[in-house]
Structure 1
Amino acid sequence: MATHAVEANFDGLVGPTHNYAGLSWGNVASKSNVNAVSNPKEAALQGLAKMKKLADRGYVQAVLPPHERPHIPTLRALGFAGSDRQVLEQAAQADPAILAAVSSASAMWTANAATVSPSADTADHRVHFTPANLSAKFHRSIEHKVTGRALKAIFTDESYFAHHPALPSVSHFGDEGAANHTRLCAGYGDPGVELFVYGQAAFNESAPAPVKYPARQTLEASRAIARLHGLDDRHAVFAQQNPAAIDAGVFHNDVIAVGNGSCLFYHELAFLDEGGVLSDIRARLAGTELQPVRVSAAEVPIEDAVASYLFNSQLLNTPDGMLLAVPGECREVASVSRYLDSLLQQNGPITAVEVFDVKQSMRNGGGPACLRLRVALRDDELKAINHGVIFTDELYNRLTTWVEGHYRDELSQQDLADPMLLEEVRKALDELTGILGLGSIYDFQL
């Protein structure tokens, strides 16, 4: 008999410095909205509304906290000195791009926070976490320390949970977390197949690789995480992302594929060796048949898939099949909207489509799937976590009040140098760690 388990979705709270700096080369949406004025309050409330919508439907929903931004310790490590106010002033005058990078609210996209292997797959039968080093982008490479602290503050019991440090922060071991990792299984408590998708083999210069945009995830990183998590050959498949897809703006696999249970929903250009990937999964998937849902380029051109973030959707179990939770942009792109209508007529595993408004996130290149980290937990493991982060009506109301009281309605690039913004952020985060019961996880609290 299978062990009962649930999939908990840990969504990132959008941070108070949510802004459009266009920091992510290879992310088309991020670059196209550079220097626009953002609305941090609206972004955070949109994220909370998405969480509540799913929690109200009975899904286990939780939150991960935003990071301290601007990140003064990073600026000090780069040679800016004096009081915090002076550090901000110097950075703004000397190199506004650096200030923008250390002010990014990109930790909101918790699909990049870590790679998680459930206890059903691991050798020691604990849930394993490895924060992503995100070494491809400076503004994200500074996240993993606080991410690790937050995960340890939530998943504290070492008899259930194992925490690893991020991989070495170099390009050869570039790791983008769960955005390039998905798990297929009969049930969340059953042994599953963990699909690691990489962009290139860093130590093999003759191997296929993208030309226009960088491949952020390496085979070497994926294999290292599988070893750290105690995954043997029965539980891990390594698949190369199609270099042509990366060059079309598919910077992470979750922009072109998403899996849940026994269903893999993917574009025909997702993998370099589509047939081999499906064969490898089928050979390891115990207790159920793989249910691939393949979208052809004729149905949805890859440019439309990127523009709409069709595959950066959440795929969720329901009593009557699976729900595909899509961003609103999917109904604004004609080919994608037509495809979604046809999908519901296919009598396949996906039986419902629902639109979620995450426009503030989408403008920076992150859809519903970017905003959540999936953690499969047995009942006893779920009981063992810090329940201050579990979404309830009470927590929703407290966090809504918290956002309303601390977030700005508008934020421009020039505002990042405002020392009052830093004070506002620290006051807000200090209050938040109390609300969530996390203790001291930020540098300014230590």
Structure 2
Amino acid sequence: MKAIEANFDGLVGPTHNYAGLSTGNIASTQNKQQSSNPRQAALQGLAKMKALHEMGFVQGVLAPQARPDIDTLRRLGFSGTDARVLEAAARQAPELLSACCSASSMWTANAATVSSSFDALDGKVHFTPANLVSKFHRSIEHNSTACILKAVFNDEQYFQHHPALPGVDVLGDEGAANHTRLCSDYQQPGISLFAFGRYGFDETRPAPGRYPARQTIEASRAVARQHRLKEESVVYAQQNPDVIDRGVFHNDVIAVGNQHVLLCHEKAFLEQVNVYKQLQKATADQLQIIEVPESRIRVETAVQTYLFNSQLLSRDDGNMTMVVPSECETNPIVANYLRELVNSDNPIDQVMAFDLRQSMNNGGGPACLRLRVVLNEQELQAVNPHCLITDALYSQLTQWVQSHYRDQLKESDLADPNLLAESREALDQLTQILGLGSVYSFQKR
């Protein structure tokens, strides 16, 4: 049965701002308290979706979370009207208000881990929302993420939705940012590469010292069990603790894979040679590994340009297009490498650069913005069609953004009751556009 890989990008929310909430994410902390442009951020993301749709790729869109998150602020002891809650939070605990206004759900690579029906023993597509416990502002996302995913992939015959793992440190789960499916082609059983940063139950194992390792092996193993993956089709690889301390907070900042190609930095994994051996054995030596040496591109350069936070997309002609942020074009070292890459003996023969500056300034590139879902023909037909990009939907969403989003947002604006009202009005209309139903708590009151 024919299969494709669909990419579902997160739509940037109306409260997109630079609060610098993500320790270990260098871009996020460096741009703290700068003014953001939510309208431009959303339009940049939509432009990428539209371009890939026009190239023939199946492109979907996922709705953002409702922010400011008044429900969480109430759980934290703030009371009264919504306006009083915002005012009190801004005065007493501005850091909590910032966290509850984050638009970080735009990075849907962290939304969930997805396994193909070709890999699962029960023949269903499996979804597990990430608990994201390493960062408070992201740990409050998974309930809404689950509701949105169920509204998009809403046919129980084909899709199996699991709850997020228990929200404890030892089971820290960061979703598909640390998961890569490798295969000969999409309709064949694949190999799941789970990258993790540390062992939750064994503190004697190697771990970073400066920045936290967000994913545990215990979480990766739990998701593999939930998704009913065969043990022989799973490879667990520990991220190199040294590169985590150099700003590689997720594996998709230092490696990207698609079908039979893995592009990664030479310092991506601990005991990297052994990881390669495991992968080659699991793929029957069908995997082509393209390793970028430190002498060619330093880890810091990779983090600055997000070279590896790219998308590898398989075209009908058998070759691949690599989608990178525009920072890769303006950096001469990375630009020269990419020119050589497309002229070398590998399937990557095209590079497309996109201006995603609003997302990049907050620490997320092309790969952060998308959730990959392998679907056969019947499963694709079962997806909520209103969430698949068409020319008409792109135009509708563009107009929606232009009507509802501000063109400037500062951290001090987050307590503005008008921003809450604007966001709710926008999201209420969006759920109608995308045919989601009432997925937000404010719609259910």
TM-score normalised by length of structure 1: 0.98
* Paired letter, 2:304: A
Correspondence 1:168-207 to 2 at 5 A: 168-207=166-205
* Paired letter, 1:125: G
Residue of structure 1 in register with 2:278 after alignment: 280
* Paired letter, 2:211: Y
Specify which of 83, 87, 100 is matched with residue 81 of structure 2.
83
Specify which of 398, 401, 415 is matched with residue 400 of structure 1.
398
**Separation of aligned partners in 1, 2:47 and 2:228:** 37
Residue of structure 2 in register with 1:317 after alignment: 314
* Paired letter, 1:295: V
**Separation of aligned partners in 2, 1:120 and 1:378:** 9
Q: Displacement of 1:276 after TM fit?
A: 1.4
Correspondence 1:4-403 to 2 at 5 A: 4-285=2-283, 289-318=286-315, 319=317, 321-403=319-401
- The answer (yes or no) to whether the contact 1:320–1:351 under 8 Å persists in 2 is no
Identity of aligned residues (%): 59
- The answer (yes or no) to whether the contact 2:134–2:172 under 8 Å persists in 1 is yes
Specify which of 420, 424, 427 is matched with residue 425 of structure 2.
427
Question: Per-residue CA shift, 1:380-409, capped at 9, x if unaligned?
Answer: 100011111000000000000000000000
- The answer (yes or no) to whether the contact 1:9–1:60 under 8 Å persists in 2 is yes
Segments of 5+ residues of structure 1 without an aligned counterpart are: none
Q: Displacement of 1:347 after TM fit?
A: 1.9
* Paired letter, 1:183: R
Q: Displacement of 1:205 after TM fit?
A: 1.0
- The answer (yes or no) to whether the contact 1:305–1:311 under 8 Å persists in 2 is yes
Aligned with 2:204: secondary structure? coil
Q: Displacement of 1:344 after TM fit?
A: 1.8
Specify which of 437, 440, 443 is matched with residue 439 of structure 1.
437
**Separation of aligned partners in 2, 1:322 and 1:96:** 45
Q: Displacement of 1:320 after TM fit?
A: 5.1
Q: Displacement of 1:234 after TM fit?
A: 2.3
TM-score normalised by length of structure 2: 0.99
Q: Displacement of 1:331 after TM fit?
A: 1.7
- The answer (yes or no) to whether the contact 2:318–2:347 under 8 Å persists in 1 is no
Aligned with 2:437: secondary structure? coil
Q: Displacement of 1:70 after TM fit?
A: 0.5
Question: Per-residue CA shift, 1:74-112, capped at 9, x if unaligned?
Answer: 000000000000000000000111100000000000000
**Separation of aligned partners in 2, 1:239 and 1:221:** 13
The Cα RMSD (Å) is 0.8
- The answer (yes or no) to whether the contact 1:291–1:349 under 8 Å persists in 2 is no
Q: Displacement of 1:345 after TM fit?
A: 2.3
Aligned with 2:423: secondary structure? helix
**Separation of aligned partners in 2, 1:351 and 1:208:** 37
Change (3 A) 1:320 1:156: closer
Q: Displacement of 1:422 after TM fit?
A: 0.2
**Separation of aligned partners in 1, 2:318 and 2:351:** 12
**Separation of aligned partners in 1, 2:15 and 2:280:** 44
- The answer (yes or no) to whether the contact 2:128–2:161 under 8 Å persists in 1 is yes
* Paired letter, 1:413: E
Aligned with 2:232: secondary structure? coil
**Separation of aligned partners in 2, 1:276 and 1:158:** 39
**Separation of aligned partners in 2, 1:17 and 1:237:** 38
**Separation of aligned partners in 2, 1:235 and 1:349:** 24
Aligned pair count reads 443
Q: Displacement of 1:154 after TM fit?
A: 1.0
- The answer (yes or no) to whether the contact 2:191–2:234 under 8 Å persists in 1 is yes
Q: Which stretch shows the higher mean deviation, 268-277 or 73-82?
A: 268-277
**Separation of aligned partners in 2, 1:206 and 1:154:** 42
Q: Displacement of 1:196 after TM fit?
A: 0.2
* Paired letter, 2:290: V
**Separation of aligned partners in 2, 1:151 and 1:66:** 11
**Separation of aligned partners in 2, 1:218 and 1:249:** 17
**Separation of aligned partners in 2, 1:155 and 1:18:** 26
Question: Per-residue CA shift, 1:318-346, capped at 9, x if unaligned?
Answer: 22511111101112222211211211221
* Paired letter, 2:306: Y
Question: Per-residue CA shift, 1:212-261, capped at 9, x if unaligned?
Answer: 00000000000000000001212211000000110000000000000001
Aligned with 1:234: secondary structure? helix
| Structure 1 residue runs of 4 or more that deviate by more than 3 Å after TM superposition | none
